[in-house]
Structure 1
Amino acid sequence: MRFTVLGGCGAWPAAGQACSGYVLEHEGFRVLIDPGYAVLPRLLERMKAHEVDAVLVTHGHPDHCADLNPLLRARALADAPAARLPVHAPPGALDAVLALDNRRMLAGSFSLQELRPGTPVEIGPFRLDVFDLPHHVPNAGLRLSGGGRVIAYTGDTGPSAELLSLAKDADLLVAEATYPQRVPDEDAPFLSSALDAGRTASSAGAARLLLTHLWPDTPAEPALAAAGRSYSGPLSVASGGLTLDLG
């Protein structure tokens, strides 16, 4: 199982970077997770648009889903249009991005399936378990299992007891860490810090922690130091091009 970071900026892409975007591969099956701003060009450096087998979107903020539109265009408008792409997202999360084009233009290019907590889904070689996590809009925490490995991804989230279930014994926890140590009061119910992520990874027994969604143009060192206060396992920050081979 291989996990590749296409981008990890929160809110907007810093120069030369992209917002949230990840590819998970196993047994030749490729899942694109959260195609945020500027993700598609990074994806196309690694594969053709028609080689994506499924898309997962945690929530409807554009830094997590805006590049679904050009991905669907690249598939639908090709000389040989690609097969219908399964797209999984919380109910209503993609209404805005799918409304960017006339329905006829993308007709037949995708099938939209709703992510619902408590209902496991089989996606290629993966089992997907979904967790309802608090954010400004509905947000789905994703737990993907396959080949004896588990990857857990928080999307964007505030404090929740569900995080421990999401991340329990995961081989990799990809955790939102917008701020190093303290989330401003107005956002505290809806976002996390690197300090929070380290505590979650430690309590859940995650084997590796990847911090993502840092505020653009902020250095990685304060986030790594904050998470390292409570988490002693392998620790890094999501940056474009990072690939983790989980065996």
Structure 2
Amino acid sequence: MAERGSTDPADTAERTRRRFARRQWRRRWLAWRYVAAIVVLLALVGGSVYALYFSTWLSVQGVSVAGTSSISDDAVREAARVPEGEPLATVDLNAVRSRVESLADIRSADVTRQWPDRVLVRVEERVPVAVVEIGGLIRGMDDSGVLFRRYRSVPDDLPLVKAGPEADVATLREAAVVIAALPPDLVGEVIRLEGETVDEIRLVLRGDREVMWGSADESDLKAEVLARLLDQPAGSYDVSVPSRPATSGQADAADR
């Protein structure tokens, strides 16, 4: 019988072999763990690429439109020409926006992806501040002088801009600046705006009154000065130089 405390060489060898085997297994597991992580990562990337660019699950199934009032949603969709059935990730949003903004009634557009399968087109429509009669057609004009919507007749709530034969795009733009500077109550007094050139703008008001406006420079100040001048009965008001306004003549009180 072996003495107490003695070690059997066979048992010692077996324990050593087992410890070595465990260390070897741990080393292999550490190596394979990194390989497995790389395989999983590649699988995830490959699956994402497939889902984004090849799967019908993330393809365009429709176009949502927001912000319209005077123009129809279908008109916006038709202009957008978003390719349905194609991957949502590859849709050229800038191209869609440019096509929508080519519509005369649209001031600006914002186009975004709505995952998983839609495109959202949010628009801001132009707002008319006046109407312009050109070539027998009555067109709306926004505050930047852009012509868009057509009207059968001059609306009661919008002043008419009459451009002279020498008027150009710059003249219309100046006229728009003038109209946009007027407060709402004063816009209601304007029958028409006449512009021969950018420096010769004149307002015709109700009550057979007229306002010599000059250019669109300092239009906000001119509007403030005119609002105060209108308290004085007169037939003609001159705010072309707002620091030196003038009045003359008598207004037709019966029409005011």
Asked if Structure 1 and Structure 2 have the same fold, meaning a TM-score greater than 0.5 normalized by the shorter chain, the answer is no
Q: Which one has a bigger Cα radius of gyration? A: 2
Q: How does the TM-score come out when normalised to structure 1?
A: 0.25
Higher RCO (C-alpha under 8 Å, 6+ residues apart) = 1
The structure where helix makes up a greater share of residues is 2
Q: How does the TM-score come out when normalised to structure 2?
A: 0.24
